Each structure stands twice: as structure tokens, then as C-alpha cells.
Amino acid sequence: MRDINGRPLNTTYDYIVIGSGSAGSVVAARLSEDQGHSVLMLEAGPSDNSIFIKMPAALGFPLMNDRFNWYIHSEPEKELGDRSIYEARGRVLGGSSSINGMNWVRGNPWDYDNWGAMGLKGWSYDECLPYFRKAETFDQGADDYRGDNGPMHIETCKADNPLYKAFIEAGVQAGYPYMKDHNGYRQEGVHITQRNVHKGIRWSTSQAYIHTNKGRANLHVADKAQVTRIEFQGKRAVKVHFLSDGQPQALAVKQEVIMCAGAIHSPHLLMLSGIGRAEHLAEFGIPCVADLPGVGEGMKDHVAAPVQYRATQNVSIAKQLTPLGKFKLGAMWTLFKKGLGATNFFEVGAFIRTHDGIKVPNVQFEFIPMLGEFQHGSVKLENGFQYFFSLMRPTSTGRVWLGSADPLAAPKFAFNFLSTQQDKDDAIAAVKAIRHVVSQPAWDPYRGEEVTPGPAVQTDEQILEALRGLAGTNYHPSCTCRMGTDAMSVVDAQARVHGLENLRVVDASIMPEIVSGNLNAPVIMMAEKIADAIRGRQALPKTNAPYYQVA
């Protein structure tokens, strides 16, 4: 078997990284900086050398089928009318960083201080901020909060469509402050979005960390290699088993296996390898290596729903996405990497508090200047605009579990969206907040009829009933192998799996609590930080940059 550069694989590696996404590519690249260590990264999916991956505006297409995507579905969601929720997870080099919306959001600084307050040594904001800075090159330059010498290129969106400008102006009119940098001192308010796009190309972790280091002799990357289990001798991880072209393979590991398969597939692979609740594993005849009942439990995701409006003027970008417009868009992007093809459409956004009893924003607004359906795996475009709200700190929890001992069978999972009264109340409040913003004078020239939930939906009961048919995932599953010291935690503060040797998990699954924003940037930060720990390097010095807190 050969890697993506045509080099034969070794039989043994110092480190084997499973998954090439927001964490895996970072970890593999950083570990291979030590020339004396051999590193293999295994990716179940194909190469990311596709226009549908590289062109930012093509972001909807990888969501439509399983070419670059695990294309999995939840079990029926009780509070959402027993609908099965489609969940896109990257199955391609770069993982979900190759198919996501490219919004560069760190979360709120309070999130990380909260992790620290939960007893996780090393995870306060002052200790995480240096790794956010290390990971990025920000187009506005470095300061106490931002980096200018990292692999991830971050650009500020142009936001020059009239509907983007109306979004910002209406938010200010509604009482929200304008934030020049929502990844700096203060997150709360309306903002122009930042995105991981560089010179017109999606800047995924595979672009940033792998393709730029493809000549590194001690780094091997194998695609179309689906891991089926980890083999142990006693409590020590010694081999990784996987399928390549349908043929079983096994490679030995000297130092560590680092699981970076994501918040749904990492717990699934752990269970297939005998790590999880012993009684559950026994149901499928899987010998228990480590009885860890927290594997797969406590899943969090940002439940999301659209509020859509028609536009009274034909200014939405839908008019540029006719068949002829798409041809022009493709030609401009192919030739110059410019034009509408270089946008991810989500060029403005906001973080707000829906009531004064909380100190950190509990709702995120994302926005696109057209009527489009991206959330459920299809793309339809009309003239109009839409807000997406997401609940930042949901109290509903889901789980991941085995449906079969067959490693090729999809994992079972359920989000349990809107299963708590708090989440229901926050979702209703989010819809009302959007309607309040859209009622502001800045929207007067453009505001047409509300499409969803619709003008007939007014009472709390009606809004909640509408959300049962509209709400879904924002593609941010997390917390299924969380860090901690209690009986339901899975890894310690350095991502080592409790009770085992040579095995770590590094991805959104180890978050002890979901953060307030999109997960790509936080996972990259976590991978940078844990890579230093694996290498035995001293952590970057703490910062003392302040951040905004409600008095």
C-alpha cells in the first residue's frame, strides 16, 4: 500500500493519526516536525483535489451526497416530530474542514475559563489564546488576540451586498454593538464574518498543514483507508486495523495512536475497539478492553433553524446564480480565483443574549443574502434573505452508540434536540429576536413577506410547533468523549484515554462543554495545544489579554 505521494507505507510507525480533519491534519503535521519520528495519518475518504472542495461558493455540493461525506442520519428525534436529522461529516482529506461553511469563530473567551473552572488544568482562556494565535495568519495583522504567522489563513469578508449592509445596520438599530473583531476582545454584537479562505481557495486543515508539508519524508498520509479497530496488548494500543481497497491491513505503532475521527466516529471506533460501557459492548460480542461508560454519552450540538424572508428588491445574490451566472462564476473563479466563487456567502453574523439574566451570548445569528436551503442536504435558491439562529449552550444532550459490531455499519446517534424547557424557551426567544431585528428601519427597503416560520406563527406555542419541523443540526456535534476526572469522562486534560496506554482522542468529542460558536477554529486550537503535549514540549506562555464580561 502507498501513501498519497506514491511512497510505500512502513510496517510500523511511531504515531498513527486516525482521521485527517480539523484535528488530525494539525496533529500529524506538528508531530512530523520532529524528524526523528515517523507519522502516518489514515483518512477513510478520498483526496480533496476537487473544485467542489476548493471553491468556497460550492460549499453546498459536498452536503448533497456521500462522495466526500459520511452522509449519516440520526435516529428519530422525538421533539422534532420524529424526524431523522441528516448530519454531514467530512469523509475526505481535511475531514469536515473540507466541507464546512468556513466561518472562523473561536467561541467566547468565557467558554475556556469555564473549562478551567471545571477542573481542567491548562484549558483557561489565557492558556488557549496563544494556540489560537499560533494557528492563524489573520489578514488584519497581529495583536494581543490575533496571529500573523500560522498555517490557517483567515480573511475578513467583503460584505458588500446591500443585504449584508442592512443586516449590520439593523442589528445596531436593534441595540447590538458593532464588533470589528468578534474573535478579539468582545464577541457579543453584530460583525462582518471572518473565514478560512486564502487567495480564493477554501483553506482547510489539509491545505494548511498537509499539502504545504507533502515533501516531509517522515509524514505519510493514506486516503481511502477506513479504520476498523485498534488492537491492544493488555491496556497498550499496539496496532491499527483498517481497510484499503476492501482489503484488511494492520500496522504497528510504537508511541501513540491519536484518534481524530470526530464526535460521532471517534466514540464509534472506540466502542468497536472494546472501549466503552462494558454491558453495551457485550451486546455485540466485543471484548471489553476498558469499561468507560462515558464513551458516546453527553453529545451536544448547536440546534439551528432558519427564519426566511422574501426581498422586495432584486438585490439578493440568487440573481447571480442562474445557470448562466453559475457559468460566469465558475469561469471567474477558475481563471482568477475571484468573484462570487470565492465567497462562502456567510459574510455577516451576530452573537446576542436573548435576556439579561445571562452574561455570555446564548444565540448566534448566521446570514446569507438569498433564500436557500442548505441545512437538510439540498440546495434551492430564490430572491430573499435568511437568518439562521443557533443555540450556543444547549442543555439537551444526545448520545452515540453501536447498532452493530460490523465496523462498516454506520454508528447510531440521536441529538435529542429541544428536549429541555430551557432550549425550547431559548429557541422561541431567538425567533423573536430575529423578527425584532428585521423590523428595524434598515430593512424597510428590502423586507418582504416572512416565509418561515411565517406571519401566521405568532404565539410561543405556534413558534415551537413550527420549529419542530424546521430545526436541525448546525453540524457541530461534540462532547462524546469528554475531558475530565469524573466517572463519565473519557480522557484526561491531555486527551489520554483513561486507563489505557498509547491512546489519545483529539477532536470535538473531548470538549467538556460545547463552545459558543462554530467548532473548526476551537478544534484546531485544541489540536495545536495537545500536539505540544504529545511532543513533550512546554506549553506556550500564558497571555493576560482581557475580554469583555457583562458586569
Would you name the residues annotated as active-site residues?
476
Do 395 and 422 contact (CB within 8 A), yes or no? yes
Distance CA 269, CA 24 (A): 15
Contact residues for 434 (Cβ-Cβ < 8 A; gap 6+):
307, 365, 387, 389
Nearest Cα to Cα of residue 223 among 99, 96, 91: 91
> What interhelical angle do 125-135 and 109-117 show, nearest 10?
130
Distance CA 178, CA 186 (A): 10
Do 295 and 304 contact (CB within 8 A), yes or no? no
Do 405 and 284 contact (CB within 8 A), yes or no? yes
- Extended strands (E) in 31-96: 39-42, 72-73, 86-87
Nearest Cα to Cα of residue 387 among 171, 149, 243: 171
Instruction: Give, in order, the Cα–Cα distances in Å from 99 to each of 60, 102, 475.
Output: 8, 8, 11
Distance CA 492, CA 510 (A): 9
Distance CA 431, CA 390 (A): 10
Nearest Cα to Cα of residue 502 among 205, 170, 238, 178: 238
Identify the burial level of 363 via C-beta atoms within 10 angstroms of its C-beta, where 0-12 means exposed, 13-18 middle and 19 or more buried: buried
